[in-house]
Amino acid sequence: MVFVFSPSKLYLIFNLKTEDMRKIIFSLVVIPLSLSISAQAYEDKIEYNKVKQPALAIVYKFPPEAVEDALILKLAKLGYKGKVEKGIFNRDKGFHIFKGALLGDISASRYDYLINIDQKNNKTTDEAILHMIIMKKDTNYLTKLSYEELTKAKTFLDNLLPDIEDSHLELKIIAAETLVIQSDKRMKKLTTERSDIEEKIKTLQENLVENEKKQEKEKMELENQRKAFEELKSKRRKKS
């Protein structure tokens, strides 16, 4: 629903004496404007099969991986598993092709949905742009859709946002879990190293104690040997 006010009506609204009434009218103006700031699908073009194809597009402030996961999961729940265009020299690489899909949220007719998800620009990885081509029998059908179907197709993309938020959260959880696993491995390694070092220290301490005992014994032996040596020297005959 869209509210349109002429300048004269706006003048009357903001000059109302009743404060509550002004708040109500102001909310009616501001809320639709704030909603328009969020992600909304629009008509655009994208190259596919060497032709600039009419398509619907939408920008999400989430990484492409989150958008892709959400889309694949949503369509999988509806019973559709897309085919992904692959190949080094394939100019359409990355497109997800859903042939003959019946998406009730869009239309009662079956269409081929060709979806491309890419990073919006090179400056940020947290913004993705999704393009959706709607075809039937190798013919682009976007311009042939009824107004209702076109509106529903745009709404379908708009409403994908909660699924993307969930997917993004799952990706964060997986990333956090990976860091925990890596940190746990490092901790276990350090604990093992500490045990090895403590064992070496224990062995060295035991060796040190043993060495001190041997030194004491050797010291006594040395004293005895010196006494015997001196005693033998004292027995020498004096030369005249």
Other residues' Cβ atoms within 10 Å of the Cβ of residue 229? 10
Residues 136 and 123 in one domain: yes
- Decide which of 149, 172, 195 is a domain's last residue: 172
Residues 134 and 60 in one domain: yes
Could you list the residue range(s) of the whole structural domain that residue 22 is in?
7-37
What global pTM score does this model have? Answer: 0.67
Residues 60 and 126 in one domain: yes
Residues 128 and 20 in one domain: no
Question: One-letter amino acid identity for 27?
Answer: S
The answer to whether position 189 is within a domain reads: no
Apex CA 52: angle with CA 58 and CA 57, to 5°?
A: 5
DSSP 85: P
Q: Are 149 and 48 in contact (CB under 8 A)?
A: no
Per-residue pLDDT of the chain (240 residues; tens, 9 = 90+): 444 444 444 444 444 444 554 444 444 444 443 333 457 999 999 999 899 999 999 999 999 999 999 999 999 999 999 898 887 778 888 899 999 999 999 999 999 999 999 998 877 778 999 999 999 988 999 999 999 999 999 999 999 999 999 999 999 999 999 999 999 999 999 999 999 999 999 999 999 999 999 999 999 999 999 999 998 988 888 776
- Decide which of 142, 172, 202 is a domain's last residue: 172
Exposure pattern of 128-140 as b/e (b: 16+ CB <10 Å)? bbbbbbbbeeeeb
Find residue 131's DSSP bridge partners: 57, 116
Task: Count the domains in the chain.
Answer: 2
Q: Are 54 and 140 in contact (CB under 8 A)?
A: yes
Residues 27 and 131 in one domain: no
Q: Which tokens go with 162?
A: 């909660």
